[in-house]
Amino acid sequence: MRNIVAGNWKSNKLMNEGIELMDAITKGLPTLHKTEVIVAPPAPYLAQFSAQYKAHAVHLSAQQCSEHGHGAHTGEYTAEMLHSSGVTHVIIGHSERRDRFGESFEVVRSKVNQAIGASLHVLLCCGESLEVRESEEHFELISKQLKDALADVDSAKMANITIAYEPVWAIGTGVTASADQAQEMHRFIREQLGNWFNPQVASTTRILYGGSCKPSNAAEIFGQPDVNGGLIGGAALEASSFLSLVAASEAS
């Protein structure tokens, strides 16, 4: 099973800066033996990047998609549109979308279903706030987030899902979950997948860690038995740190 290192640029980089970063990433990538590299730039750049970097071993992801199919939904872009623009992946359920844009469990589930229907590979995020962790309800919440988002997905379609465990208290804060905390939650998620689907889904679904992952802590986190790479925010905005994370995955 190949690891994934995915960079989420969020709302950063103007077009020329994005091209510079993609040029540096694609030029600096080593021959990959055990890692899939994914970049999620801002949506307006996706179609051009897909044409411009077609020859490179970098998959393109959107940072979200519409919960709707085509129709009168001004400003929305559908999963099918992304797929038709050369995009292969989409991040769904990021905590910033859930918290700042009011994406409910139902909306996340609809987006997952739209993405799967459009043959996109989903990077499905889950994660608990500090408050939830401190009240020791984190396992229950993660289970609920994932079970709900995957309610309409059958075992065969789980091949199109990667899970990203991103504790909200670690995103953009510089505080990383310890390797033990990450492993504990990843193991729990894998066990849940076994309960909801089957042992094969449990053992083959990639589970990424996200939350202040950087070159100094990646080797330890990626080295955990149930961690299959990372979803990276801040450290994906510089080619050197992003490439170090790819190297850490290759060495794990």
Under the rule (CB under 6 A), what is the footprint of ligand PEP?
A: 8, 166, 171-172, 210-213, 231-235
Q: How far is the CB of 183 from ligand PEP (least distance, A)?
A: 17
**Rounded (10°) angle between helices 179-196 and 138-149:** 40
What residues contact 11, with CB distance under 8 A and at least 6 apart?
A: 42
Based on CB atoms, which residue is closest to ligand PEP, 179 or 202?
179
Q: How far is the CB of 94 from ligand PEP (least distance, A)?
A: 6
Based on CB atoms, which residue is closest to ligand PEP, 126 or 201?
126
CA 95 to chain centre: 11
Based on CB atoms, which residue is closest to ligand PEP, 39 or 231?
231
Decide if 184 is catalytic.
Answer: no
Q: Which entry of 96, 103, 128, 166 is annotated as an active-site residue? A: 166
Q: How far is the CB of 127 from ligand PEP (least distance, A)?
A: 9
Based on CB atoms, which residue is closest to ligand PEP, 18 or 229?
229
Q: Which entry of 59, 94, 121, 138 is annotated as an active-site residue? A: 94
Q: How far is the CB of 155 from ligand PEP (least distance, A)?
A: 27
Decide if 89 is catalytic.
Answer: no
CA distance 226 to 108: 24
Based on CB atoms, which residue is closest to ligand PEP, 80 or 128?
128
Q: How far is the CB of 168 from ligand PEP (least distance, A)?
A: 9
Residue facing ligand PEP at closest CB distance: 233
User: Catalytic positions, please?
Assistant: 94, 166
